[in-house]
Amino acid sequence: MFYYNVNKRFLIFVFLFVFLFLFSAFRDSLGTDYSFYEFNYEHPKSMFKIEFLFELLFVQFLRIFSFDAILFFIVTSFLINFLIIKKIYYDNYLPYVSLIIYVSYFYLSSFNVIRQFIVIAFFYAYLVDLLEHKDKKFLIWGLLLTFIHLSFLAIIPLYFFNNRVIKRNFLLSIWGVSVLILLLQVYKFYSIVDLAEYIRNFSWISVKFELWANAIKALYRDVQSNIQLYLKNLLFLILFFRLTKKNIHESYNYLILFLFGLIFQNLFSSIEFIGVRIGYYGDFALIFLVPMYIKSLNVKINRQIAAFCFLLYFVGLGFYRFYIKGESQALPKWKPNKELLLKQRSILEKRDSS
């Protein structure tokens, strides 16, 4: 009978997929860019000139079947969640851990950056393996994905790096330089004007004291505003030293991806499209790196403690991002009011008419 032939885990994943898909597809104005995508679907005017493939596949083609934007959200929600959950189910050490990380930390972001999440989902579902084996089909698919979201152009050069021969110290050096640059961005008061002002008003001892006092204040403010980025750098070190020490070959490709995204975030933390958007590609590797780390621990109690700590981190951070801060406006608590939606629509209409 069907009941006895179907794996219990498979049924759980199917149920969760259906729930996540339906909640995303019929979210009713939830998401920062909901109005933008809705308007673009109902009034297509080639707003994505470089990323024309997105316009062709997800707007012009879908409009053959319906002019209602709900079809756009149904198709994109199904595609994103199906590809990611399928990857988690079939290619993972601890699928439940990965699923919790995805739902708590990444899922609600897909309500906002829809185009990029389509690319990320397809990349991790099919292209990561091509990238690892240096299959030339990766370049063809990569070029096509660039025409859906331009940010994937930054990922294509990874094809030309041999992950197997890159030295561990070399990777750590690159990461260290990016962290140093991130920290140096804090000390803006070291400008010539500020330094001249200090020298004019204080003795040399007072100048040094004032400079260090401002350094501590600036660093404190930066830690407050970039706490997630600093925690992510710490997480990289934890994963990197353990997985490279255990020589887990399956983790190399994901480690390189995570490091690559982290470097962009460190170097361009103040530029959203370059830092945050490209960083998404690397962050997604955590869905697969964390289970590898947990699995590498020899003692069962250590694996349980590690799993608890990681899940507490991602669930807590997800709660902070989406519920407290209201990132992506993806929860009903942060649903924009009708006046704001009308204002956004009027702005789009004016831009469209111009």
Residues 55-92 pLDDT 10s: 899 999 999 999 999 999 999 999 999 999 999 998 77
Give me the pLDDT at residue 4, please: 41
Burial class (CB in 10 A: 0-12, 13-18, 19+), 249: exposed
**pLDDT averaged over every residue in the chain:** 81
Give me the pLDDT at residue 19, please: 94
Give me the pLDDT at residue 349, please: 54
Per-residue pLDDT band for 117 (boundaries 50, 70, 90) equals very high
Give me the pLDDT at residue 193, please: 44
- Is the pLDDT at 302 greater than 80? The verdict is yes
Give me the pLDDT at residue 111, please: 86
Amino acid at 1: M
Whether the Cβ atoms of residue 163 and residue 249 lie closer than 8 Å to each other: no
Give me the pLDDT at residue 2, please: 37
Q: What is the rounded CA–CA span in Å between residue 135 and residue 174?
A: 26
pTM over 0.85: no
Q: Which structure tokens are listed for 326?
A: 């209201």
Choice between 351 and 177, residue whose per-residue pLDDT is larger: 177
Q: What is the pLDDT of residues 184-201, one digit of tens each?
A: 765 544 444 454 455 555
Amino acid at 27: R
The proportion of the chain whose per-residue pLDDT surpasses 90, expressed as a percent, equals 39
Q: Which of 86, 26, 92 is nearest to 290 (CA)?
A: 92
Q: What is the pLDDT of residues 251-287, one digit of tens each?
A: 888 999 999 999 999 888 777 667 888 999 999 999 9
- Is the pLDDT at 353 greater than 60? The verdict is no
Give me the pLDDT at residue 292, please: 92
Per-residue pLDDT band for 217 (boundaries 50, 70, 90) equals low
User: Residues 24-28: what's their mean pLDDT?
Assistant: 88
User: Residues 281-296: what's their mean pLDDT?
Assistant: 93
The proportion of the chain whose per-residue pLDDT surpasses 70, expressed as a percent, equals 77
Q: Which of 275, 270, 303, 293 is nearest to 188 (CA)?
A: 270
Q: What is the pLDDT of residues 128-170, one digit of tens each?
A: 988 888 888 999 999 999 999 999 999 999 888 766 667 788 8
**Positive or negative: CA dihedral 255, 256, 262, 266:** positive
